[in-house]
Structures are given as structure tokens and as C-alpha cells.
Structure 1
């Protein structure tokens, strides 16, 4: 294993672990502040950090958006930063004590949601075998949500709302990560910085409206001071460092390898939650394992399919193109940034 590959693996592990930690961290933060105001604070800090980084690396010219699709960038930023944050963490809060566990394992669905989104947007159908792993991963998620008591799905339909919000939030991040392909000339830092800034406009407007109409309560000064450690972690560790390390790690080892490290997200969340006293049930652990296995098997399936298509009758690059197109959104969706 080369030093470059080893470094890439380490960066991906650190990034995924930081994202796994954000769900238990939010468990504490959500006791003192709503997810909407928290998102405004979090991405104001992260946005300033990304802006400073972009100006350092690429200069002021990187902020010139003349001729670029600014409206699309705004939509993608709104989806990734307002949509993901608002929906996932509101859903986590509504679920209750198990919210961190359920939200973290649902993030493993993102690569598979990427296949389906790519199918709708780009008309690129997933390989048939991928549907097996999509179904397998869904079974694992259902076991986590119900702790093995599948009858709860019928007996407690009111729980659909919170779980649905988390899945919609995960889909928002899939849309955001896929949107990067519409800006091939932008660096990852520029795409993140610009979409963060544009997405913050929506975040501020939505939050201001909710506060004005009394849908959420304005946090007190004490509340803000209380969540400062949570805010620091979510802004710097899970936000700036997590995203940068993930992008650098995937560049070194390739996105098809990088997506496997999404398994680290629920493992980290389950471990931290256990130390906080929220121990997952046996069936929840089994469900998480099933979803993780589905992710690994899907990766292996794509590799074998790519190898089988790359026969002597076709150039390897041409033969692998359909698989690469199908795998691209799944790998991108693994970036739970956030």
C-alpha cells in the first residue's frame, strides 16, 4: 500500500468519523436550540472559513461568477445546507432519544439514493444487481427504525413523519453533491464556498420567517453559550475539516473506495451514543450491519461488473463508462458534509 493511498484512507476515516460524531453532538445541542437557528450559526462560521480558504488558494477572481449559473448554484446550496440540515436534524429531534442512531444509519442510504436520483435526472438506470443491495439496505434501515419490531410501522404511522424528514434530508444532500458535476471548472473549495454562501441566504430567510411567526423560539443568550462546544464541533470538525479531508482522501483512493468508509458514520454514532447512555438494541445493531454489508457488496458488484465489461473487444475506458456513470452519484453521495 503506497503512502499516498494510506494517507487517503486515513483522511477518509477521519472525515467519516467526524460526520458520525455530529449526530450524538446534535442530541445535546437540540435540547437548547432549534435546528434552524443552529444551522444559521453553524454555516455562518463554516462559510467564513471556506471563504478565507478560497481567497487564500485561488484569490479574489474565484468569486467572479459572471456567466455562471448562479440560480442553479443557489438551488443546490439551499438543498445541501438548508434542506439537509433542517430536515435531518428536525427529524432527529422528533424521533427522540434514538434520533442520533436512526439518523446516522439512514445516511448509509445516500449512495443508493444517488443511484435512483441519477436514474431520474440523467436517465442512467442503475445496474440490475444494484436493486438487490438497495432493498437489502432498506431492510437494515427498517430494523434500526423499529428495533426489529416491524409491526410498529403499522401501529405507529405518526412516526413516518420524522423518519420521512430524515430521508428527505439525505436526498437533499444527494442532489447537492450531484450538482457539483454541473460546474466542472470549479474546484471543490469554490463549489463548497459559493454554494454555502448562496444557500445561507435561504437559511436566513426561512429561519427569520419561522422566528417571526413563532414557529420556533428565539434562543436566549444562555442557550447560545451552552451550545458553543457543539457549534465548534459542527462548524469546524464536521463541517470544514470533514469536507476537506473527505475530498482529499477520495482524490487519493478514488470515490468507489471512499464510499465504503460511510460505514464509519453509524459505527461512530452508535459508539458515542452508547457512552451517552443511549445503547442501541440488538436488532438495531443487526440492521446497521445489514446496511453496511449492502454497501460493501454493492461496491464489489460494481467492480466485478466493470471488469467484465472491460473485455478485449472494447477499450477499457469505453467499456467501464456505463458503470462509472452509475457509480458516480453513489460515490458523491457519500460525502455527508455537512
Structure 2
């Protein structure tokens, strides 16, 4: 990758980040076979936070002034974007499917921009509203809503998690002062992981569950923590830094595509409605993205 231009390299890394995020949904399904949801979420982010803090310490160094200046913001954002988002994901995946979950999450950049426009008291562009509507039709196709199926309770939880992620993304821009994207990601991840661990210890028995977990569960958990969290976040931040948020956010469309491919590799070949739903939803997100280009 050394012969590539910085822009091309950043685009490839951002695409890898989106693909890594897409693999998390199948990995979540595997982890939930052995582990209860709070333990599974805590496992992922305790490992991820530890690796992220080590990465920050070795590359940039830990700036305690940044941590003190933004401590309250990091705690609030960690509770919303890490604890809340992942609680919704792991609890929701007990009844939702990896493809549907990834597709719902794939609309979060669009939700983020619409909420940000409302908070800024700006009327969202009509093309963005149309794109949102098309994306929702795509989600409905994926879960079979037009053939009489209903959204599962897990789908609604994941939608709530997607809303939490949108608020987290907005908060990172509005509440954090003089901190790099990597520092914000590391410290919000750390505080969110502490909360997830505390809840898991209070309502479940994580030590016993983890001790009895299979090799596959540990492998899936390590994949989510190190590849689907730390590497994905770092690669995505490289893309934002080099190419800008608008150009990078388009690649988020690869998340549901990645989830669809991985699901097929694990033997659950998608039906025509799922494939069509993913395509329609991606078109809606792309169309709404034209409002920013």
C-alpha cells in the first residue's frame, strides 16, 4: 500500500473499516450463542478499550490535559455512544438478523445529518428527506414488512441504538474541545466499557460465562474488539482526516453489503427481498448524501 497516493490509501482504509464493521453483526450472533448480552458487550469493549488506550499511548501519548478538559463530555458520550449503542445492539441481536441490523445501522450517517440540521435550526434539504424515506423502504423490504412480516422487537432496539450513535456523532463535534478524533474515540470507548462492565457484573455472571465460552466465542469476541472496533475506528479516522467526512461517509454503505456477504458465507443465503432491500436502502443513503456534495 506504500505505492498508493495518500488519498487512495485513505479511501481503501475507510472501505476496510466499513467492511470490518459489517462483519461485527455475524460475530455478535456467534458470541450470543454462549454469552448473555451484557457480558458479550462488556467483553468486546473492555478488550477494545484496553487495546485502544495502548495504541494511543504508543503512537501519540496520553495527554491528561485533554482528558481533564473533556472528562464530562467523554463520560456522557461514552454512555450514549458505547454503552447505549452496544446494549441496544447486543440485546437487539437476540431477535434481529445480522443483515437487518447492519442495514438499520447503515442509515445512521443520514440520521446524524438530519438531526444535526434540526439542532442547527436548518431545514433539511428535500433530497435528504426523500433519501431517508427510500432508505426506510429498503429496511422494510429487508425484514419482509411488505409481505406481512413485522419488525422484530430487536429491530426496534437496534433502531434506538442507531439513534444513539447519531447523537454520539453529533456530540463528538459539539461537546468535545481541543481533542483529536483518536483521543475522543479512545476515551469515550473507555468510559463506555467501564459502564458496560459494571452493568454486566450487576445483572449477569460474566466471569462464569466467559470461563465456559467456546474457542469460537472468544475468537469472534476478539475479532469484534480488535478488528471490528479498534482497527475500524482508526482506519475510518484516517479517511476522515485525509478525504473529509462527506467523501468518507459514502463508504459506510459497505457495512450492510459486508454483512450480507458474511451472512451468506455462514450458510444463510439471503432472499431476493433482502438483496433488493439492501440495494434500495443504499440508494436512499447515497441520494441523501448528494445534498452534502
TM-score by length of 1: 0.80
Deviation at 1:74, TM superposition (A): 0.9
Whole-angstrom distance in 1 between the partners of 2:95 and 2:207:
16
Q: Residue in 1 aligned with 2:154?
A: 162
Deviation at 1:202, TM superposition (A): 1.8
Deviation at 1:275, TM superposition (A): 1.5
Deviation at 1:36, TM superposition (A): 1.1
Q: How many aligned residue pairs are there?
A: 289
Which secondary structure state, in structure 2, belongs to the residue aligned with residue 152 of structure 1? coil
Unaligned runs of 5+ in 2: none
Whole-angstrom distance in 2 between the partners of 1:63 and 1:33:
38
Of 207, 226, 240, the residue aligned with 2:230 is 240
Deviations 1:121-161 (A, max 9, x none): 33333112211111011000111112641x323xxxxx442
Of 143, 146, 157, the residue aligned with 1:145 is 143
TM-score by length of 2: 0.91
- Taking the TM superposition and a 5 Å limit, the aligned residue runs for 1:195-234 are 195-211=188-204, 218-219=208-209, 221-223=211-213, 225-234=215-224
Of 128, 131, 140, the residue aligned with 1:130 is 128
Deviations 1:245-273 (A, max 9, x none): 01101222221111111121111111111
Whole-angstrom distance in 2 between the partners of 1:59 and 1:135:
44
In structure 2, relative to structure 1, the CA distance for the partners of 1:193 and 1:224 (3 Å cut) is farther
In structure 2, relative to structure 1, the CA distance for the partners of 1:227 and 1:131 (3 Å cut) is same
Unaligned runs of 5+ in 1: 154-158, 304-338
Deviation at 1:217, TM superposition (A): 10
In structure 2, relative to structure 1, the CA distance for the partners of 1:78 and 1:296 (3 Å cut) is same
Whole-angstrom distance in 1 between the partners of 2:72 and 2:237:
25
Deviations 1:52-82 (A, max 9, x none): 222223334346533x242332111011111
Q: Residue in 1 aligned with 2:93?
A: 92
Of 92, 101, 104, the residue aligned with 1:103 is 101
Which of these two proteins has the greater Rg computed from alpha carbons?
Answer: 1
Whole-angstrom distance in 2 between the partners of 1:270 and 1:160:
19
Deviation at 1:106, TM superposition (A): 0.8
Deviation at 1:218, TM superposition (A): 4.9
Whole-angstrom distance in 2 between the partners of 1:171 and 1:26:
19
